[in-house]
Amino acid sequence: EVQLVQSGAEVKKPGESLKISCKGSGYTFTSQWIAWVRQMPGKGLEWMGIIYPGDSDTRYSPSFQGQVTISADKSISTAYLQWSSLKASDTAMYYCARLDSNYVSGHYYYALDVWGQGTTVTVSS
């Protein structure tokens, strides 16, 4: 079974650093992009960026460039999302998801097909 398992909920103070994780299993972790998605309380989904664990090629959404760092350790099939200095506005649920590239009838189809359970990050003084 393909799974993404995320690390547990975090409660932090403004200015603190944080690194959350997403461990993949049941597929070749190095061969599929992993996306990070933010969902602020009561709001919709926001695309943060993606990483290709095979070579750590990383692409950020302009809104999140410079605000977070996405990384991966392919030896343990784990992707990470980290902050160097948290703000209250970082309070949200964070999801990782696999960006599947499905080759069917001569076409590649891309979609987020498997999601982690989410990690709640609360930043409060």
- CB nearer to another protein: give 85 or 101: 101
Q: Give me the least distance between CB of 17 and another protein, in Å please.
A: 25
Written as six digits, the tokens of 123 are: 């930043």
The sign of the torsion formed by the CA atoms of 101, 25, 29, 58 equals positive
**Whether the Cβ atoms of residue 33 and residue 50 lie closer than 8 Å to each other:** yes
Q: What is the DSSP letter of 31?
A: G
Site residues for another protein, 21-80, by CB under 8 A, read 35, 37, 44-47, 50, 59, 61-62
How far is residue 11's CA from residue 18's CA, in Å, rounded to a whole number? 10
From 7-15, 21-29, 69-77, 114-122, span contacting another protein (CB under 8 A): 114-122
102 binds another protein (CB under 8 A): yes
From 11-19, 21-29, 67-75, 111-119, span contacting another protein (CB under 8 A): 111-119
